[in-house]
């Protein structure tokens, strides 16, 4: 009964979304303020019913209702309750439903918030959001029904959740990534609303900025937690593989970063408004392209959700409708958007514009490297592999240039004309480059240009931030506080660069044949394989290696216990790495296949500053969150009269429609 209720709620939500995607636009076209008054009612109905739908799916998981195909394929009576909850979004059907629920909730918050006084703009925006929800709801109903039954013959026990997904990463990584995509959907709808209205004002840019910031924060978290999850769970020891599905979430993040800086120019300087709208459309389009890649089956990856070509073609159709329609509207209406374009050649405007260009070029480079092998194979031209060497050789130099611009931008004034600002920047860069040389000379093979790029970029950010604080001290603490969010985020970028550079270039790794009593010295630490233990839990059995670690002075450091786990429900084997962490290094040990009665294949790695990668990511998220709440607070300080939010505003609203 509960699954049927969930399906009914999903159908009601779809009908509500279809009506909501039409009524505000028709009301604006016919100047019918009475019809426009139904927007809030339909938004609430759409949101409540789709939320009820996902709660019904959650109830099916908690009740172990294996007559529901989605529950039978991704749960089990032995599965922990926490993972039953996470399994709701753990695969294709549930993740799509979670995505639409999130869009509906966010849209409902916007519609009912008194902060947004341009109700016509908000009405157009919620119509576009409803259109997106209706499209994907229909996609679920016809090709990916999360409530599909296995009647009359259904299993008494489920297949269980994929063992790789039975990790805390499933609780954080997919929801954050989807919420980032939701934010990009909001910005897409806002851009379409502005194009339909033929204007994009500073007020609209102020509306857009918090949504862009939150989208960027969630995308940053999604990528960072995904990297951390792969590092911990997969046992291969890496943190980024340039996997096509990893790239599919990273590319929108690059464009969202450019959008984040562009919307600041649109809000504060009334400039680059057309660029901001184009980046909104581009970021959302790339997130849909990533969705197609993950769910079409054209790539094989541990990150992929589905492999049904029918679903892939359906998503491709939706991608074509949304993207082609949006770009056509942009081509027709962009000339109506007024934008201030006068700025000096040497100014913060120019630096931010150049930075955005570099970020978009980096996104296109990653996109080409990701899709070119797929197109090559689809055209029956053979197989082609594009791996880390290509991505590193293209992306790392572009990142270096972007970071140089990032550090310089806060130190250059708006409409700066004088060349005097270049002198301290040149001195700071010379100092950063010198430190980069000193660090790059510490590698085993002498000077390493990749290390120089990373060390110079990080040093440059530290020095420019320090100089910025020094230059603002005369203006008081308020001036520094105003820029604290930016400084935290930029500082986080530098921390991540240091971690990535150190791990990629100073890691020590050994692949060994080890058994009880055998030891090996790696990076000054002695690893002794003491014994092998059998582990039996509710979900899996495991062969655990107990490895004793001592330092160079033979002081006991601790035990590392990597496991080779076999899950009881499906006999799937996974390697669970043992990791000993601190701020300076990670000692990473993974256990592979059994080579003899007592010996196993063991990989031991010393990873300097590995945790800095994710500490930097958290700092970027913190800076973005502070900026988002600050933008919302400033938006909330705009005068809002009771009259503008009540039915008494209908005459004025009618004039606005006219």
Query: Residue 640's pLDDT band (boundaries 50, 70, 90)?
Result: very low
pLDDT at 468: 94
DSSP label at 146?
Answer: T
Cβ distance 112 to 104 under 8 Å?
no
* Structural domain includes residue 286: no
pLDDT at 646: 38
Q: Is 521 helix (H, G, I), strand (E, B) or coil?
A: strand
254: pLDDT strictly greater than 60: yes
CA distance linking residue 545 with residue 589, whole number of Å: 10
pLDDT at 637: 67
Would you state the structure tokens that stand for residue 641, as one six-digit string?
């009269």
Burial of 183 from C-beta contacts in 10 A (0-12 / 13-18 / 19+): buried
* Structural domain includes residue 93: yes
- Residue 4's domain spans which residues? 1-166
* Residue at which a domain ends, from 166, 186, 216: 166
CA distance linking residue 32 with residue 60, whole number of Å: 43
DSSP label at 149?
Answer: B
* Structural domain includes residue 132: yes
Ordered DSSP codes for 229-284: HHHHHSSS--S----HHHHHHHHHHHHHHHHHHHHHHHHHTS--HHHHHHHHHHHH
Section 48-68 average pLDDT: 97
pLDDT at 417: 64
Section 24-33 average pLDDT: 88
Number of domains within the chain = 2
CA distance linking residue 227 with residue 246, whole number of Å: 9
Cβ distance 277 to 330 under 8 Å?
yes
Query: Residue 476's pLDDT band (boundaries 50, 70, 90)?
Result: confident
Least confident of 321-325, 413-417, 433-437, 479-483: 413-417
List all residues 6 or more positions away from 529 whose beta carbon is below 8 Å from its beta carbon: 514, 515, 516, 517, 518, 519, 545, 546, 547, 602
More confident residue, 523 or 643: 523
588: pLDDT strictly greater than 90: yes
Preceding omega of 152 cis (within 30 degrees of 0): yes
* Tokens 């890691």, residue located: 507
Question: Residue 591's domain is classified under what CATH number?
Answer: 2.60.98
pLDDT at 547: 97
CA atoms within 13 A on the CB side of 71: 27
* Structural domain includes residue 274: no
* Structural domain includes residue 192: no
Section 45-61 average pLDDT: 98
> Distance of CA 630 to CAs 258, 278, 543, 625, 627, Å?
20, 25, 51, 8, 5
Strands 525-536 and 519-522: antiparallel
pLDDT at 297: 63
Least confident of 590-594, 645-649, 653-657: 645-649
642: pLDDT strictly greater than 60: no
Cβ distance 24 to 74 under 8 Å?
no
For residue 444, how far is the Cα from the chain centroid?
A: 35
Mean pLDDT, the chain, integer: 89
* Residue at which a domain ends, from 131, 151, 166: 166
Q: What is the pLDDT of residues 349-404, one digit of tens each?
A: 899 999 999 999 999 999 999 888 877 777 777 777 788 888 999 999 999 999 99
639: pLDDT strictly greater than 60: no
Give the bridge partners for 526, in sequence order: 521, 550
Query: Residue 643's pLDDT band (boundaries 50, 70, 90)?
Result: very low
CA distance linking residue 52 with residue 9, whole number of Å: 7
DSSP label at 654?
Answer: H
* Structural domain includes residue 557: yes
pLDDT at 238: 85
Would you state the structure tokens that stand for residue 176, as one six-digit string?
């954050």
Q: In this structure, is the dihedral angle defined by the CA atoms of residues 616, 620, 623 and 625, taken in order, positive or negative?
A: negative
Q: What is the pLDDT of residues 503-532, one digit of tens each?
A: 999 999 999 999 999 999 999 999 999 999
267: region left, alpha or beta (phi > 0 left; psi from -120 to 50 alpha): alpha
Cα dihedral: 415, 417, 421, 425 (round 10): 80
Section 160-186 average pLDDT: 91
Least confident of 358-367, 437-446, 470-479: 470-479
Q: What is the pLDDT of residues 615-633, one digit of tens each?
A: 999 999 999 999 999 998 8
Angle at 85 between CA 79 and CA 89, to 5 degrees: 110
* Structural domain includes residue 478: no
Give the bridge partners for 542, in sequence order: 535, 565
CA distance linking residue 60 with residue 53, whole number of Å: 11
Q: What is the pLDDT of residues 486-500, one digit of tens each?
A: 999 999 999 999 999
CA distance linking residue 535 with residue 518, whole number of Å: 21
Q: What is the pLDDT of residues 290-328, one digit of tens each?
A: 888 877 666 655 555 555 667 878 888 999 999 999 999
* Structural domain includes residue 289: no
> Distance of CA 571 to CAs 117, 155, 539, 540, 621, Å?
58, 18, 11, 9, 38
pLDDT at 112: 93
pLDDT at 340: 67
pLDDT at 305: 56
Least confident of 160-169, 196-205, 475-484, 600-609: 475-484
pTM over 0.85: yes
Query: Residue 5's pLDDT band (boundaries 50, 70, 90)?
Result: very high
């Amino acid at each position: 009964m509960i699954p049927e209720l969930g399906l009914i709620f999903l159908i009601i939500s779809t009908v509500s979304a279809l009506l909501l995607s039409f009524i505000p636009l028709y009301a604006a076209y016919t100047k019918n303020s009475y019809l426009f008054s139904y927007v809030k009612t339909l938004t609430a109905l759409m949101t409540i019913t789709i939320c009820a739908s996902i709660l019904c799916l959650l109830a099916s998981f908690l009740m172990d209702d294996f007559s529901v195909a989605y529950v039978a394929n991704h749960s089990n009576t032995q599965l922990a309750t926490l993972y039953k909850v996470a399994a709701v979004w753990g695969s294709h059907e549930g993740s799509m439903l979670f995505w639409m629920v999130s869009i509906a909730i966010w849209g409902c918050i916007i519609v009912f918030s008194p902060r947004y006084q341009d109700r016509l703009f908000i009405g157009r925006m919620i119509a576009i959001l409803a259109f997106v929800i209706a499209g994907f709801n229909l996609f679920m109903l016809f090709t990916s029904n999360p409530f599909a039954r296995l009647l009359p013959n259904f299993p008494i026990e489920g297949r269980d959740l994929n063992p790789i997904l039975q990790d805390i990463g499933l609780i954080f990584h997919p929801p954050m990534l989807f919420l980032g995509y939701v934010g990009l959907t909001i910005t897409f709808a806002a851009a379409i609303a502005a194009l339909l209205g033929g204007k994009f004002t500073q007020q609209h840019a102020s509306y857009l900025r918090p949504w862009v910031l939150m989208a960027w924060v969630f995308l940053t978290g999604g990528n960072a937690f995904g990297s951390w999850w792969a590092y911990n769970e997969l046992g291969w020891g890496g943190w980024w593989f340039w996997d096509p599905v990893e790239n599919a979430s990273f590319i929108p993040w690059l464009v969202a970063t450019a959008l984040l800086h562009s919307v600041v120019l649109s809000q504060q300087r009334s400039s680059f408004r057309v660029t901001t709208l184009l980046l909104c459309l581009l970021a959302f389009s790339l997130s849909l392209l990533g969705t197609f890649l993950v769910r079409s089956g054209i790539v094989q990856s541990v990150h992929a959700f589905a492999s049904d070509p029918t679903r892939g073609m359906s998503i491709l159709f939706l991608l074509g409708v949304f993207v082609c329609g949006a770009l056509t509207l942009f081509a027709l209406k962009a000339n109506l958007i007024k934008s201030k374009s006068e700025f000096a050649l040497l100014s913060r405007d120019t630096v931010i514009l150049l930075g955005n260009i570099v970020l978009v070029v980096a996104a296109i480079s990653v996109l080409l490297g990701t899709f070119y092998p797929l197109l090559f194979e689809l055209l029956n031209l053979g197989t082609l592999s594009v791996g880390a060497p290509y991505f590193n050789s293209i992306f790392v130099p572009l990142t270096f240039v972007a970071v140089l611009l990032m550090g310089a931008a806060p130190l250059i004034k708006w409409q700066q004309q004088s060349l005097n600002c270049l002198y301290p920047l040149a001195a700071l860069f010379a100092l950063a480059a010198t430190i980069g040389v000193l660090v790059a000379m510490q590698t085993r093979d002498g000077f390493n240009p990749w290390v120089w790029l990373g060390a110079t970029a990080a040093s440059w950010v530290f020095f420019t931030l320090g100089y910025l604080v020094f230059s603002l001290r005369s203006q008081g603490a308020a001036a520094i506080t105003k820029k604290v969010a930016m400084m935290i985020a930029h500082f986080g970028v530098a921390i991540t660069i240091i971690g990535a550079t150190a791990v990629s270039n100073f890691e020590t790794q050994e692949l060994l044949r080890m058994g009880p009593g055998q030891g090996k010295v790696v990076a000054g630490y002695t690893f002794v394989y003491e014994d092998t233990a059998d582990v039996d839990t509710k979900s899996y059995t495991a062969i655990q290696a107990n490895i004793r670690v001592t330092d160079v002075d033979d002081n006991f450091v601790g035990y590392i216990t990597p496991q080779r786990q076999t899950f009881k429900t499906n006999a799937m084997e996974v390697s669970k790495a043992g990791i000993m962490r601190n701020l300076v290094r990670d000692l990473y040990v993974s256990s592979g296949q059994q080579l003899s009665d007592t010996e196993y294949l063991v990989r031991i790695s010393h990873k300097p500053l590995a945790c800095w990668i994710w500490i930097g990511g958290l700092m970027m998220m913190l800076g973005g969150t502070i900026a988002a709440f600050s933008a919302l607070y400033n938006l909330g300080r705009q005068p809002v009269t009771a009259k503008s939010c009540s039915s008494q505003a209908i005459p004025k609203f009618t004039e606005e429609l006219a």
